[in-house]
Chains A and B, each alone.
Chain A
Amino acid sequence: MSGTDDHDHEGHEQSTSMASRVGELVAKLEAKGILSEAELDAAVEGFLLGTQRAGGPALVARAWVDPAFRARVLADANGALDEIGVDMTHWVRVKLRAVENTERVHNVIVCTLCSCYPVSLLGPSPSWYKSLAYRARVVREPRAVLAEFGLTLDPSIDVRVWDSTAELRYVVLPRRPEGTEAMAEPELAALVTRDALIGTAVCRAGAAGSRDP
């Protein structure tokens, strides 16, 4: 494993042979007393629990209420995550970059080479994010793709697509919806959906508790 945040870029097609190779490796490690099945299960479970923390909404909510924190998120997202106690490290520390939606620019994240994704911030990635259709089309006709997600952008807004081809991971810092001025951080965090953090949706007041499909 080269230890990227979610997926390696190599060999999604070889998952069957990969599974059997992993099985053999685990058997050898067990036979030599290096690792037990129970330890392995605990590690996997810990990883999956970690991904459910979904640190992304907490990060965004803090950035919305605290301009100085927002500036730190944009300058050094990893440092900002440390401040709110979100750990992006699984095997190695992944460098995160937050990209900010504004009145002028709407950001969208993709990995055209496979499906790299900041899993510790967003939870497990949706299947459409890994689909060839999304990966091929969003770098060519993002407005059309976003419209299919139910998001029609004003023509005056520039669309900016970030293809995460290397060891950096991206997350969108969505715009704070109007009418949320009185809300506290936990309430605001509930408005931040997974899709808004990928850029295929925007945050809306009154969306609290709604789930991404």
Chain B
Amino acid sequence: MSPRFRAGDRVRTRAVNPEGHTRLPRYLCDREGTIETVHAVYPLPDDRARGVSVEACKKEVLYTVLFDGREVWRERSVEPLSVSADLWDSYLRPERAR
């Protein structure tokens, strides 16, 4: 499984919070960020939490995605920071570089 993104690529996180378990934190929904690290392929926890076996569940590349605090918190932003999360491929879509 070759990674869809490379370090430095701009991405946007999924906007919709699905029913059931996901590892995309709500505060990072529909936010633009940058791929910081490309990790290995891991079982998708959204599937695993529904009781799908490790063998049968989807496997996806995991990425560390870096966000600017202003993009994350917008008008609720109180101080400068950057924050990253480790996100599975299907949580992300490509975003055109600015």
Contacts and interface: CB of A to CB of B under 8 A. Distances in A.
A165 B79 contact: no
Contact of A144 (B21, B49, B79): B79
A142 B81 CA distance: 8
Contacts, number: 79
B76 A140 contact: yes
Interface string A129-162: 0000000000111111000000000000011111
Given A9-B21, A168-B39, A139 B49 contact: no
Contact of A166 (B80, B83, B88): B88
B81 A165 contact: no
Given A113-B25, A139-B27, A140-B76, A167 B82 contact: no
Contacts of A141: 78-79, 81
Nearest to B48: A2
Contacts of B87: 165-166
A10 B22 CA distance: 10
A168 B62 CA distance: 10
Contact of B25 (A142, A160, A165): A165
A163 interface: yes
A158 B84 CA distance: 14
Contacts of B21: 9-10
A163 B87 CA distance: 10
Interface string A42-64: 00000000000000000000000
Contacts of A125: none
Contacts of A112: 25, 27
B82 A166 contact: no
A2 to B, nearest CB: 6
B4 interface: no
A9 B39 CA distance: 20
Interface string B59-98: 0001010000100110011111111111110000000000
A160 B85 contact: no
B57 to A, nearest CB: 11
A142 B69 CA distance: 11
B78 A140 contact: yes
Contacts of A140: 27, 69, 72-73, 76-78, 81
Contact of A168 (B25, B76, B81, B86): B86
Nearest to B25: A112
Contacts of B39: 95, 166, 168
A161 B68 CA distance: 10
Interface string B20-31: 010111011000
Given A140-B76, A165-B23, A165-B86, 11 more contacts: A140-B77, A140-B78, A143-B79, A160-B81, A160-B84, A162-B84, A163-B83, A163-B86, A165-B85, A166-B86, A167-B42
9 A-B pairs with least C-beta separation: A166-B86, A161-B83, A163-B85, A165-B85, A159-B81, A165-B23, A141-B78, A165-B86, A112-B25
